[in-house]
Amino acid sequence: MMVNKKLQVWLPLLFSLVLIIGMLLGYKLNDKGGNKNGFFASNSSNSLQEALDLIKLRYVDSVNIGELEGKAIQEIMTELDPHSVYLPPVKVQSANEDLAGNFEGIGLEFNVFSDTVNIVYVIPNGPSDKAGLLIGDKIVAVNKVSLTQKTFDTDSIKKYIRGDRGSTADLQIIRESKQLLVSVTRGNIPVSSVDAAYMIEKTTGYIKLNKFTENSYEEFMQAMENLQKQGMQSLIYDLRGNGGGFMNEAVDMADEFLDGDKLIVYTAGVNNKKREYRCKRPGLFEKGKLVLLVDELSASASEVLAGALQDWCRATIIGRRTFGKGLVQEQYPLSDGSAIRLTVARYYSPLGRSIQRSYENGKKVYMDELWERFNSGELLSADSIRLHTDDKRFMTSCKDTLYGGEGITPNFFVPLDTSFSQRKIVRLLTETNISNIIYLYYMENKQQLAQYKTAHDYEQSFDATGLWNKLVKTANGSYDFSKLSAQEKNLLQQRLKAQLARYKWRNDGFYQVMNNEDAVIRKALEKI
């Protein structure tokens, strides 16, 4: 028994001694090899690190090594695919917020009008709403910092208004010529990825999604359930301009449309084994008619969803060929607060289609390809698409011929509206202060607009003549509106009406007005 007790005491000490000796020997061996970075350093030299160390120790002038490292990593990323990127520390937070579906702040939107910050929207039940702020309030200072300086741009103002959750923003505001001090406790502000969700016809719902954030699936399900309660039997799902986001959110949405254990998408890469994503549960909308809207800016997760539904003949795809991004990125944080988003795999549709366009000619050629589509006439005519080759051809169970390697080609093509009228209206909207004119009209006519209880009532009954007259009067000769044709005047009035609706019903109201004259929407309603 005494021997056992001695062993219990001495064995741990013996093991510790052996471990220490081993570590010391290892360190010395590494030291002989010229590596002086410590116990766990590799024998192989790192030329990049060596160069940075030499600059730090020997360069004639003082330099910011962290900045040099960032530039070096950024240059390395340019040698990879177009979607592997370096994010410096100052951009990591905003990049993460973009896909998080929320940010920390006080929960309002503003517009700078006559060098004054005007509140144009207060998020319901958000910090600003709880503090009593109203549309039309003017913010002149935040925490005693004046916001009336002409040098302040929108981003600068955001920095003063936003802040960590739980912190306080003391706002000095002007309301109906009275100065007030309002304290707002900053909080977590949700940012919806569902722009609009409403019944576009008696039994047809419409949903528009702007990106795939962490909360998109939950928001999508809420929208779907609300529309089904209103009698939705068919759905138009609008992914135009949706540049993607989290693939898992797209997978979950696809599961709501597909039955059984159907394959939705699979990913594979040199350092990542093939991984399949399949349907896991009964879907909310497996049988109803489904139309998916896409365009040249629909990318990544949008293409995952479109590809799965097209491969299984579940949806009719309408619009124009999608962007062609079939690469999966993962974000890895670096020690200085920066991060890299690294492409780790390609994704493939159920039929095995790779959606990724070629980038072998470099990033610039890759990004300019969208302009090339316009110049070649592809955005104007389906007959101008010359990208399909036999080796990328696939056949669906419903005998549709599909192609891989160049995005998702829709079942029905609708050309881009490049009419003179549209271009003139867009230029007029960007070159004038129309948004400010609409805001002033809203503030002056809130009582009149209160009679419209829903965006549908507004869209059906509101006469935009008064708003038009205000535009012409406020412009005061800076633009000759008499030069507009009847069609152009109608287009502009429609846009004015839609933007006015946004003040009261947000994007839901905007799209209810704009969709009435949308050629892609008309085609979708034909196919429902």
* Whether 143 and 241 share a structural domain: no
Q: What is the identity of the amino acid at 459?
A: E
Position 162 pLDDT exceeds 80: yes
What is the domain count for the chain? Answer: 4
- Quote the pLDDT of residue 72: 86
% of the chain beyond a pLDDT of 70: 86
| Dihedral sign of CA atoms 425, 426, 427, 429 in order | positive
* Whether 461 and 332 share a structural domain: no
Residue 464 falls inside a structural domain = yes
Residue 394 falls inside a structural domain = yes
Question: Once rounded to an integer, what is the mean pLDDT over residues 285-301?
Answer: 96
- Quote the pLDDT of residue 255: 98
pLDDT tier for residue 523 given thresholds of 50, 70 and 90: very high
Q: What is the pLDDT of residues 170-212, one digit of tens each?
A: 999 999 889 999 999 999 888 889 999 999 999 999 999 999 9
DSSP three-state, residue 138: strand
Q: What is the pLDDT of residues 11-20, one digit of tens each?
A: 444 444 444 4
* Whether 373 and 468 share a structural domain: no
* Whether 361 and 479 share a structural domain: no
- Quote the pLDDT of residue 388: 56
- Bridge partner residues of 50 (DSSP): none
Query: What is the C-alpha separation between 125 and 164, in angstroms, rounded?
Result: 18
* Whether 241 and 221 share a structural domain: yes
User: What is the per-residue burial (b if ≥16 Cβ within 10 Å, else e) of 366-379?
Assistant: beebeeebeeeebb
Contacts for 410 with CB less than 8 Å, ≥ 6 apart: 294, 317, 318, 319, 320, 321
Residue 227 falls inside a structural domain = yes
Q: What is the mean pLDDT of the chain?
A: 85
pLDDT tier for residue 38 given thresholds of 50, 70 and 90: very low
Question: Once rounded to an integer, what is the mean pLDDT over residues 245-266?
Answer: 96
- Quote the pLDDT of residue 125: 82
* Whether 314 and 227 share a structural domain: yes
* Whether 210 and 244 share a structural domain: yes
Q: What is the pLDDT of residues 121-148, one digit of tens each?
A: 888 888 999 999 999 999 999 998 888 7
Cut 0.85: pTM above it: no
| CA nearest to 117, candidates 127, 109, 106, 107 | 109
Position 454 pLDDT exceeds 60: yes
Residue 273 falls inside a structural domain = yes
* Whether 245 and 389 share a structural domain: yes
* Whether 229 and 349 share a structural domain: yes
* Whether 292 and 363 share a structural domain: yes
- Quote the pLDDT of residue 261: 96
End-to-end CA separation in angstroms for the chain: 87
